[in-house]
Amino acid sequence: MDAVDVVRAYWEAANERRWDDFAALLAEDVLYEVPQSRERVRGRAAYLRFNQDGFPGLWRLEIVEVVGTGRRAASWIDFTNADGTNQPGLCFFELDDAGRIARITDFWPDPYEPPSERAHLVERF
């Protein structure tokens, strides 16, 4: 399995709450970071707990795209919160020698109003 397969298996396990399968994809010393909020989680046990307890309610996700090769991949998911609102989630992944996920960098972009200075250069959808 290369990184694209591992990342697809990771998201499918998360979406189906198959936490044993999810944990088996992680390196013992996995490092998870969110640059936007400066949050960090270190290690498989802590990261499993973060995923199980950090996002209460009936969220679900769909994979939009996973790209990569070898040990590196990036994913774009469509995350639906428990209240039905949607948000894109973007992650960069790195695997270790054993093919386990060793590093995850996670981004959650929010909607914004575009600057009016460039309104003449774009259309809206």
Least separation in angstroms between residue 79's CB and a second copy is: 13
Given a contact cutoff of 8 angstroms between Cβ atoms, the answer to whether 27 and 45 are in contact is no
Name the minimum Å distance from CB 33 to a second copy. Answer: 7
The nearer residue to a second copy, 44 or 68, going by C-beta atoms, is: 68
Q: Give the nearest distance from C-beta 55 to a second copy in angstroms.
A: 8
Strand, coil or helix: what is 38? Answer: coil
What DSSP string describes 30-58?
EEEEETTTTEEEESHHHHHHHHHHSS-S-
* Residue 69 or 85 with smaller CB distance to a second copy: 69
State the nearest-atom distance from the C-beta of 94 to a second copy, in Å: 9
CA distance 65 to 4: 10
By three-state DSSP, how is residue 47 classified? Answer: helix
State which amino acid sits at residue 8: R
Residues contributing to the site for a second copy (CB under 8 A): 3, 33-42, 46, 49-50, 53-56, 65, 67-69, 72-74, 76, 88, 90, 92, 105, 107-114, 117-118, 121-125
